[in-house]
């Protein structure tokens, strides 16, 4: 998939579920629950042993879903995720090796950047969108608005501490998308609570749509 198409699909979805898979066999059902809730993108975090298998499963069984890898901490994880079909890479911090690897292969990459120095590094590398994590710890939307002034060309994906109660405040022109685990809670995945995941996604989609259209 072309990087430009990946970016367009993420921005159109605007909500990026951060998904923790403890069993790869539950991936397809989880992806379908998200899709039925109106979200066709998922970030599978590499926090568990089955994560890479889950990415491969989702790519094979759910072609309508845009699959990315999150919590990518090193180059081996990055390469492994891309080899299994991940269309985008998300890391909690800025790692130039990961960024360069993705750019060389035309893969969308969103490193975590919360300071002007990190943002400057991302811009120098040619990026225009970064992850802002953990958003609630580093000032939330107030910090994003403050950073948007000196970096008007940059877009943010706030993640961490975002939930149904505050997601609306993150709808902002320089917010490219909003990520979070509230859209697909780990315990619901593990218990097969797919209907609950779908309901949360639908509610979140409608809420964000309302504020994006204002």
For the question of residue 131 being annotated catalytic, the response is yes
List of E strands, 20-174? 41-45, 66-70, 88-91, 108-111, 129-132, 155-158
Q: Which of 128, 186, 182, 187 is nearest to 154 (CA)?
A: 128
Query: What are the tokens at 37?
Result: 């809730």
Sheet of 41-45: strand order equals 108-111, 88-91, 66-70, 41-45, 15-19, 178-180
Catalytic residue among 5, 23, 131, 169: 131
Instruction: Answer yes or no: are the C-beta atoms of 76 and 69 closer than 8 Å.
Output: no
Active-site hit among 43, 64, 118, 145? 43
- Token output for 159: 């993640």
- Tell me whether residue 23 is one of the annotated catalytic residues: no
Q: How far apart are CA 118 and CA 122, in angstroms?
A: 6
Coil/strand/helix, residue 145: helix
Active site amino acids: 43, 131
């Amino acid at each position: 998939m072309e990087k430009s198409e990946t970016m367009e699909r993420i921005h159109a979805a605007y909500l990026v579920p951060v998904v923790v898979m403890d069993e790869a066999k539950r991936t397809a059902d989880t992806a379908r629950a998200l899709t039925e809730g109106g979200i066709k993108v998922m970030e599978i975090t590499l926090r568990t042993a089955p994560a890479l298998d889950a990415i491969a499963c989702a790519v094979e069984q759910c072609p309508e879903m845009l699959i990315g890898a999150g919590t990518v901490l090193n180059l081996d994880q990055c390469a492994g995720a891309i080899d299994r079909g991940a269309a985008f890479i998300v890391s909690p911090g800025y790692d130039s090796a990961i960024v360069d690897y993705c750019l060389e292969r035309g893969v969308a990459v969103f490193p975590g950047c919360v300071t002007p120095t990190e943002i400057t590094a991302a811009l120098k590398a040619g990026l225009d969108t970064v992850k802002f994590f953990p958003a609630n710890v580093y000032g939330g939307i107030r910090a994003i608005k403050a950073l948007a002034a000196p970096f008007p060309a940059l877009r943010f994906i706030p993640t961490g501490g975002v939930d149904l109660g505050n997601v609306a405040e993150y709808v902002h022109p320089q917010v490219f998308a909003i990520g979070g685990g509230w859209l697909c809670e780990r315990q619901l995945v593990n218990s097969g609570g797919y209907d609950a995941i779908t309901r949360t996604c639908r509610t979140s989609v409608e809420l964000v749509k309302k504020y994006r259209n204002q």
